[in-house]
Amino acid sequence: MSSVESDVYDIIAEKSAVDRVKLKRDAKLTDLEIESLDVVEIIFAVEEKFDIHVPYNANDQELEFETVGDVIDAVQKLIDEGKPA
């Protein structure tokens, strides 16, 4: 597991109150009962932690996060692209 993946798991667990052991790449956010407000808080925390900007609008959903793995992959992609905050 990469450090990015581990950090994202930690952030999701902290912001959503989901037990970290339940977090798997293929776990659907809706199945984990992660609400849209939780997603916004997760995104803010991810942006701060990794100094990136996540182009997410809850009304538009330009980036669609269906699973925990989707969040991890999006974060890794933004880090790799070197997008500044």
Instruction: List CB contacts of 14: < 8 A, sequence separation 6 or more.
Output: 45
Instruction: List CB contacts of 27: < 8 A, sequence separation 6 or more.
Output: 67, 68
Is the pLDDT score of 72 beyond 70? yes
Upper half-sphere CA count for residue 22 (Cβ side, 13 Å): 14
% residues pLDDT > 90 (the chain): 68
Indicate the pLDDT class of residue 65, thresholds 50, 70 and 90: confident
Walk me through the domains of the chain, giving residue ranges and CATH numbers. 3-81 (1.10.1200.10)
